[in-house]
Amino acid sequence: MAEAKRDYYEVLGVDRDADAKTIKRAFLKKARVMHPDVSDDPDAEAKFKEINEAYTVLSDDAKRANYDRYGDPNGPGGFGGAGMDDFFGGFDMSDLFSEFFGGGRGASRPRTRGRDMSISMRISLQEAATGVERTITYDRLAPCEDCGGTGSADGSAPETCPDCGGSGVVTSWQHTILGRMQTQTACPTCHGTGQVVGTPCETCDGQGRAPSREKVTVQIPAGVRSGQSLVIQGAGEAGVRGEAAGDLVVTVEVEQSDRFVRQGDDLACAIDVDAFEAMLGAAVDVPGVMPDETVTVEVPAGTQPQAQIVVPGKGMPRLGSPDRRGRLVCVVNLVVPRDLSDEQQAALTALARERGCRVAGSDETLEGMIDEVFSEDKGLAEEAEAPSGQAATHEAADDRPAKKPRPTKKRPFGKRRKKK
C-alpha cells in the first residue's frame, strides 16, 4: 500500500487560510534549513522534495483550490489538463536552491549580476498570424521581499569584508614536493562578493535574493516564426543585493497546422474543386488563416489536377509589418462527381459523344465495341491478301464461281524427265 502523504499545510507549518506571502516565507525558511547542500540530516533530500512539492501546490491558485476542495491538486479525478509548467517548461526549484546556496563557493569570484534565463513557448499557427498575449509561470531568484533586496535585516548598508579586503578571494600557501604553491579560493566569509552585511536577512542569508515563483506576460507579435526569441529585460535572475538582474529569453515554437504548410511568409493549402468547376471556371471560397477570414480563389476554366493558384496578400503577416502579408498558394484537388442523376448522365453522355470521347452507354457496351474492332481488323486483313489489281468487296468475292483445280500428271517412280 502506498504511503499517505502529509498535509501540505502541515509540511510548511502554515494555517489553511495563510496568504501567498506567508506560504512563500515559510517555504524559504524551511528550504534553507533542509536543503541537502547545507543540512546534515540523512533524510534531507527527501524532506526537501516534500516541502518543494507542498510549495508547488500551495503557491498555485488553481492547484491549491483543488487541493482544498478535493484533497488532490489535479481535481476530483486525480488527474488534470496540462498546467502552465507542462506547456512552458519552467525551472526546477531545487536547482535554484543549489545555485542559491552554492553561489560564491567556487574557486573564482562569483558574479553579482543576475544571469539570463531562457524558456520556450508553444503557440499555434493562427496565434502566430494574429499575435497573442500569454502569461507564463516560472521559477527564478527574485529580490527578497523581506529585506527589499538589500540583504540586511535592519536596513544597514553592506560593509567591506574584513577577511578578503573586498577582493572576494583569499590566498593560501601549501608546501608540496614541487615546492611552495599558492592557491586562491572564494572568501568563505563574504562568499566571494567582497562585502558582508552586519545583520543579514534570515530569509535570503544576506544575498538580497531568494527563490520565487514568478508570472510574466509575454506579447507575441504577429508573423513570428518558429525559433525566434523575445527578450524581457530584468525578468531573469536577480542580482546579489540590488545588482542588475538578468533577462528572460522566450523562444517561440510555432506548431504545425493541419490545414496549412508554411514557407516563410507564404502558406500552402489544398482545395477541393469539382470537375465541372475546373472545366468551366469558378470562384471557390476557402477559410483563411485569420479568424473568420474567407478567401475567394478564382479557378480558371480548364484547370488541371494539382495546379497551383496563387492568391497574393492572404498568407502570413510579415514580422514588424503586419499589414503586409505573404501569398496563399492553393493546390487543386480535382473531385469527380459520383452522384449524377439519370438526366444529367444522359446529357453528359451525349456531349461526350459529340466531342468524340470514348463513352460506354446503354446501346454501346464494351463487348460490342470489342467485336466491332475485331471485325474491322478482319476485313483489313482479307483485303491485304487479295491479288493485286482486284478491288472487290466481300460480297462480290462470295458471288464468283469457284475455280476448278488443274489436274497434275504423275510420272513413274524412278523415271527422269528427258532434257530438251
Q: What is the pLDDT of residues 297-311, one digit of tens each?
A: 999 999 999 999 999
User: Average pLDDT of 362-384?
Assistant: 57
Closest CA to 288 of 259, 309, 263: 259
Contact 297, 309 (CB under 8 A): yes
Backbone angles phi, psi at 284, to 5 degrees: -110, 130
Q: Which three cell numbers stand for residue 272?
A: 477541393
Best-predicted range by mean pLDDT (26-40, 42-56, 213-227): 213-227
CB environment 281-300: b (16+ within 10 A), e (fewer)? ebebebebbbeeeebebebe
Using the Cα atoms of residue 314, residue 120, residue 138 and residue 145 in order, give the sign of their dihedral: negative
The band of 132, judged by pLDDT with boundaries at 50, 70 and 90, is very high
Q: Could you report the per-residue pLDDT of 162-191, keeping only the tens digit for each? A: 888 888 888 887 776 666 777 878 888 887
Q: Is the pLDDT confidence value at 80 over 50? A: no
pLDDT of residue 78: 55
pLDDT of residue 92: 55
Q: Could you report the per-residue pLDDT of 58-73, keeping only the tens digit for each? A: 988 888 998 898 888 8
The C-alpha angle with vertex 108 and arms to 106 and 110, in degrees rounded to 5, equals 80
Q: Is the pLDDT confidence value at 86 over 50? A: no
Lowest mean pLDDT of 82-86, 91-95, 272-276, 399-403, name the range. Answer: 82-86
Q: Could you report the per-residue pLDDT of 374-395, keeping only the tens digit for each? A: 666 666 666 666 655 554 444 4
Cα gap 144→205, rounded to integer Å: 10
Q: What is the mean pLDDT of the chain?
A: 80
pLDDT of residue 189: 80
pLDDT of residue 99: 61
Q: Which three cell numbers stand for residue 103?
A: 553561489
pLDDT of residue 176: 67
Q: Could you report the per-residue pLDDT of 202-227, keeping only the tens digit for each? A: 888 888 888 888 889 999 999 999 99
Contact 23, 11 (CB under 8 A): no
Q: Under DSSP, is residue 350 helix (H, G, I), strand (E, B) or coil?
A: helix
User: Average pLDDT of 18-34?
Assistant: 85
Between residues 337 and 34, which one has the greater pLDDT?
Answer: 337
pLDDT of residue 113: 84
User: Average pLDDT of 382-409?
Assistant: 54
pLDDT of residue 51: 86
Please name the residues in contact with 77: beta carbons below 8 A apart, sequence gap of 6 or more.
Answer: none
pLDDT of residue 89: 41
The rounded percent of the chain whose pLDDT value lies above 90 is 36
pLDDT of residue 106: 43
Q: Is the pLDDT confidence value at 276 over 90? A: yes
Q: Under DSSP, is residue 273 helix (H, G, I), strand (E, B) or coil?
A: strand
Q: Is the pLDDT confidence value at 249 over 70? A: yes
CATH for 261-335 is 2.60.260.20
pLDDT of residue 168: 83
Domain covering 1-81, topology? Helix Hairpins (1.10.287)
Between residues 312 and 89, which one has the greater pLDDT?
Answer: 312
Domain ranges of the chain: 1-81, 84-144+211-255, 261-335
Cα gap 29→33, rounded to integer Å: 7
pLDDT of residue 96: 65
- Under DSSP, the state recorded for 364 is B
Contact 190, 168 (CB under 8 A): yes
Q: Could you report the per-residue pLDDT of 253-266, keeping only the tens digit for each? A: 999 999 999 999 99
- Other CB atoms within a 10 A radius of the CB of residue 303 amount to 19
Pairing of strands 321-325, 229-232: unpaired
The reply to whether 84-144+211-255 shares the fold of 1-81 is no
Between residues 238 and 101, which one has the greater pLDDT?
Answer: 238
pLDDT of residue 373: 54
DSSP β-bridge partners for residue 262: 267
- What class, spelled out in words, does domain 84-144+211-255 have in CATH? mainly beta
